[in-house]
Chains A and B, each alone.
Chain A
Amino acid sequence: MTAEEYTRRLAQLISEVSDGEITVEEVLAAGHTLSALGLTSPARIRLIDAIEDDFGVEMDLSDEPASFEDVGTLSALVARAQAVRETTRAW
């Protein structure tokens, strides 16, 4: 998956967990944090569930909450988590 594909899939998930309150386009348009777009705390928990189910990874929640504010940073986190999973499997 390319970085762009990660980002787009994440934007779709964010839109889904917000019940469509936040559109994919809004997420992809840079410059706003997810909080500023209206991503609520319950939606954030649903997003973590959705990411883990969709990408088959375990999110590390010890990161600063700021990592969960930007779709670009988030997609890098997911890519990293997937890489960790692949390495673990290779063992």
Chain B
Amino acid sequence: MVTVTFSGARDGEAPLTWGQRLMWRAIHLMGDSQTFLSCPWVLPVYGRRDLGSVLDALRVLLERHESLRTTFASTPDGPVQRVARDGELTVDMVESGQDRALRVAERVADELGRTAFVHDKDLPLRCAVVLKNGRPTALALAFSHLAVDFQALNTLSEDWKILMRGEKPPPVEWQPMDQAAAEREEPYPARSAKSVRYWHSVLADGPLDVFDHPPREADDPRFIEVGMESTALAVAAQRLAERWTMSTTSVLLAACATVLATVSGRPRAVMQLVHSNRRDPRTRAMVGTVEQDGLFVLDLPGTDFAAACRAAQRGALRAYRNAHYDPFEMQAMREEIGRRRGREPDLDAFFNDRRTTGTWPGLPPVGSDEDVARLVGQTRTYVTNAWPGVRFKAFFTVVSAPDTGKLTLIVDTAYLPRDVAEAMLRGVEALLVRSLTEDVPMAAIPKVCGIGPYAGSPT
């Protein structure tokens, strides 16, 4: 075990940013399952570098990015972020032995994320150096989601590459404390008010639950993540997106929302969309958590799936547009609706596209549209993870993978058993693959997808 001592440019205390507020609430809602929100990450050591220079590069990251030197605490005036100027990070050493170093680093990063952060005391990251025959090969890290989001992790990777080349990354101009100050000034409050108005218009009426059927006895652990790896899914999404001149995200979102609406037996799907939200140019290179949730509504059209995709594209634009708000203000509105309607609407259906680009550059060559259907035979589904209490009813994630369509679905097994979750993933694939070769009318969706309204199962 070694210690990295850092000394940054400034310290300070500020209210939480909007992104941090969202995560603060999520962490407290999830309780013991909050490790779901840990962000494991691996920074490979490029070239032959000794331990000293690797630890020095880590020190530079800690000094550059205030987010990595921040603790979070409740105060009588609300939660705050506290940036430390100086401090120490303890770093473990792990010898990879015979195993591939990067594989070991991934495993260590996952393990580091399995313990919840004590946010008012701990730095928001844990780190181990993975060594092969005594030489550093990678940093295995786990971050608190209060400190980073997906884009921040990519920024850290970019910084890391520069540092590993022995160069100096450009100065950091904008930090979460600056962002917290900016969010108190226009146009931020006006945008927040506008977003809250839009959400209110959706939540004022409509169903209070994601599903109408009663819960059954849940599995243990209650929440499971089912994954699907499908080349057919990626090829079909890419071809349909080109054909209909929209993003692959819109096509995948439309298919997931259509399947969710079909399973819930409703003509409308309401889902939260995780949005990177880096619209203020100053936030683009900021290490911090900026992601916020948008509220997406898809009313299934009377015509066909192509129309559903166009509607989803429009719905996503509205959702993203209104994903910029003060989460505390939003929560106050949701509580007000809760008082009026008896309880707050349950918004625990999600869609998150975690890819950094909208394509799959490593897809194998595939022939005609008819050939894509034959690839379905190679698709596999599996259970990847389980948690006692992540509180999602249905959470679709498009996972970043260069050479295959990787879609996962977290379900609450009290509402959707594993076989239904698998059928939903297969249904998304079937819908896109069939749409390649024929126009799919909405009335044909249950038959094409092999799913129908799920009424629950007798317990």
Contact = CB atoms under 8 A, between A and B. Distances in A.
Interface stretch (B71-79, B169-177, B316-324, B364-372): B316-324
B317 A61 contact: yes
A64 B314 contact: yes
Contacts of A42: 276, 278-279
Interface string B232-251: 00000000000001110100
Contact of A46 (B187, B249, B279): B279
B213 interface: no
Contacts of A9: none
A47 B456 CA distance: 44
A77 B7 CA distance: 52
B352 interface: no
B187 A45 contact: no
B245 A53 contact: no
B279 A49 contact: yes
B273 to A, nearest CB: 11
B194 interface: yes
Contacts of A35: 245
Interface of A is mostly: helix
A48 B314 contact: no
B354 interface: no
B279 A62 contact: no
Contact of B320 (A33, A41, A53, A65): A41
A65 B321 CA distance: 13
Task: Give the interface size class of chain A.
Answer: 10 to 19
B132 interface: no
B114 interface: no
Interface string A5-47: 0000000000000010000000000000101000001101110
A45 B245 contact: no
Interface string A53-74: 1000010011011001000000
Contacts of A45: 279, 317, 320-321
B31 to A, nearest CB: 33
A41 B247 contact: yes
A45 to B, nearest CB: 5
B313 A49 contact: no
B194 A48 contact: no
Nearest to A33: B245
A62 B166 CA distance: 51
Given A35-B245, A58-B194, A65-B310, A44 B278 contact: no
5 contacts: A41-B320, A44-B317, A48-B321, A49-B187, A53-B187
Interface of B: 187, 191, 194, 245-247, 249, 276, 278-279, 281, 310, 313-314, 316-318, 320-321
